[in-house]
Amino acid sequence: MSSIIQLLPDHVANQIAAGEVVQRPASVVKELLENAIDAKATDIKLIVKDAGKTLIQVIDNGVGMSVTDARLCFSRHATSKIRHAEDLFDLHTKGFRGEALASIAAIAHVELKTKQDQEELGHHIIIEGSKFVSQEVAVLPKGTSFLVKNLFFNIPARRNFLKSDTVEMRHIIDEFQRVALAHPAIYFTLIHNGSEMFNLPSSNYRQRIVNMLGGKTNEKLVPVSEDTEIVTISGFVGKPEFAKKSRGEQFFFVNDRFIKSGYLHHAIMSAYEGLLKEGNQPSYFLYLDVPPHTIDINIHPTKTEIKFDDEQALYAILRSAIKHSLGQFNVAPVLDFERDPNLDTPYEYKDLKSSFPTIQVDSNYNPFATETVSAKTSSTSNFSGSSNGSSYSSRGNYQPKESASWESLYVDLKTDTEAVTNVSFESEEVTGSLFNDNEIEKETSRTYQIHKKYIVSSIKSGMLVIDQNKAHQRVLYEHYLRNITVSQASSQQLLFPLELFFSVDEVQFIKELQPSLENTGFVFDTISNDTIQISGIPVNVQESEVSIVLEELISNLQNEIPESSFSLNDGIAKSMAKSLSVKTGTYLSEKEQENLVNSLFACKDPNVSPFNKPTFITLSVEDLDKKFAL
């Protein structure tokens, strides 16, 4: 019987390996930036076109490579970082597998230009789909330039699975931020489609965070520092009042390598216990330095998860360090044990006995014995009104009048109260209804709210139970979607422009959403690198809610934007409807309940919310009878 197991060709094996290493353009960015850092570069420039689909180029001034290394670096499992298996537990570099460049070269067009400092000439190598096209000598500056074009050109199925340019660029920015924050001493530059997005000169950790996320970030940061035998912790955490709904500004670095750890994140949330509103997330930029032999990095393909030898001790130290920093800088409430010396009992009083106060009672005292008629007259005259019934004039003066009895206080007393005029409400015309007109009982059309969550209304066939939150989401969703598509939204002008501060990448995101947001009622005056000035907002949005609405909009759409522009508008309408809808636990008056019910059944699709959840249920009389027949 012939053998059925065969060795795969190298180019096929590289394409399979690329499935783990290169998931999207951001994966290429991560590998090339880390290689530049391992090459001891002090200036790294990242150039991207079409969110990395067309071009990704990383230029550094590192040590460069010889001609042999330049060719060998594209071979599988070729690395300069490790020699023995024991080296995996004593890593001081970023890349060490030797698969990244081989995988990238298998699915893209790659150009490598490199030159060592002591060499007069450099080397220019071109590879297409793992095949060496050309290799020649060239005059080049010191360092290395990796140019990756047409990613997934030979795997169209993988290319079709890529998201929109906005989503892919968001992932590239995430990887760029993680590398740049871990190495503040290196000069980083990011250019997308010819426009410079980030220019980060060499600085310290705090200045790098401020340059990355905007100038207002500086006042949000609280320093954290702790030095123990197990771990050395440094970095910053955000003040509780600046917490956001999203988790975008949360960074863990272990030995200058970005990691994700739900366990350590729980330690931070525990330190913030009682300081955050429900659902808010604190910002943190924490750098942990541990001995390399106490961690295992090689447990995840992307190397973003690490196994620690003693996680429990690390948890306790991290939690304690953050609690201490929040209390030290008067962010968290603390008990004040400083005593006031004026409240201390003098020492010489220690032998004195306590004395009780004496009470004297006059048993012959009668409070009614001294009351006279003249006293009564004098007291009542101070409050008597004038003959025309007006006790006080418009200037606050009054004329005293003697009165013999209390009945005179109410003689000719007139009231200025008038009958309250009836207020009529303009009823909104309902264009559609889910039920027939004769099915709704007019005499029992009153609605009731249960647990500040559900609205109950009776119909002829039984009972209608409406979820007020999901129903309002449907109403607002169709309202905003209609405004965006027909561009006829009304806005309320603000007396003073509202100035909001966002990170640099969030501002870029809002710029892309600006036309759709203006159709919902927002009016933008100026948009700078980290500041947005708004002079008009949608009619049903409060000024205090604008920042929350935009933050939630960015958080909801950053990783979920579909391809078409209509779907983008749909996503904006869904996000705003979710943020501004009536929440569970909100009391609604009877008028508000009726208006919500009428608005719901005037919608085109009142049965489900924008997120395909039912907005109401019906209970027929037969269903209720069955419940009581059990």
pLDDT in tens, 573-598: 888 888 888 988 889 988 899 899 99
| Dist. CA 567–CA 553, nearest whole Å | 14
Would you say residue 257 has pLDDT above 70? Answer: yes
Query: Tokens at residue 40, please?
Result: 């001891």
Place 286 in a pLDDT band, splitting at 50, 70 and 90. Answer: very high
Q: What domains lie within the chain, and their CATH numbers?
A: 10-200 (3.30.565.10), 206-328 (3.30.230.10), 437-619 (3.30.1370.100)
Can you say how many angstroms the Cα of residue 337 is from the centroid of all Cα atoms in its chain?
A: 37
CB 55 within 8 A of CB 47: yes
Place of tokens 């929350």: 548
Report the pLDDT value the prediction gives residue 284, as an integer from 0 to 100: 93
Coil, helix or strand at residue 495: strand
Model confidence at 36: pLDDT above 50: yes
Please give the share of the chain, as a percent, with pLDDT higher than 90: 25
User: Over the stretch 593-607, which tens digit does the pLDDT of each residue have?
Assistant: 989 999 998 999 899
Cα separation, 75 vs 102, whole angstroms: 6
**For residue 232, what are the CA distances in angstroms to 247, 252, 295, 303, 366?**
24, 13, 14, 21, 81
Name the token pair of 254: 């272990």
Least confident of 82-96, 310-324, 362-376: 82-96
Name the most confidently modeled range: 162-166, 214-218, 548-552, 602-606. 602-606
Query: Looking at residue 444, what is its pLDDT?
Result: 46
pTM of the model: 0.67
Crossing angle, helix 262-271 and helix 311-328, to 10 degrees? Answer: 30
Structure tokens at 128: 């297409």
pLDDT at 125: 92
Inter-helix orientation angle 165-182/25-38, to 10°: 20
| Contact residues for 377 (Cβ-Cβ < 8 A; gap 6+) | 402, 403, 404
Q: What confidence score (pLDDT) does residue 367 get?
A: 77
C-alpha to C-alpha distance for 504 and 531, rounded to whole angstroms: 9
pLDDT band with cut points at 50, 70 and 90 for residue 18: low
- Quote the tokens at residue 429: 């015309």
CA distance 445 to 310: 64
Residues 315-324: tens digit of each pLDDT: 999 999 999 8
Cβ atoms of residues 542 and 564 within 8 Å: no
Residues 467-508: tens digit of each pLDDT: 999 999 999 998 888 887 776 667 888 888 888 888 777 887
Angle at 24 between CA 163 and CA 66, to 5 degrees: 150
**In the prediction, which pLDDT does 418 show?**
46
- Residue 73, pLDDT above cutoff 70: yes
Confidence label for 344 from pLDDT (cuts 50, 70 and 90): low
User: Using alpha carbons only, what angle is made at residue 149 by residues 63 and 76, rounded to the nearest 5 degrees?
Assistant: 60
509 pLDDT band, cuts 50/70/90, is confident
The reported pLDDT for the residue numbered 185 is 94
- Per residue in 110-154, pLDDT (tens digit) is 999 999 988 889 999 999 888 888 999 999 999 999 999 999 888
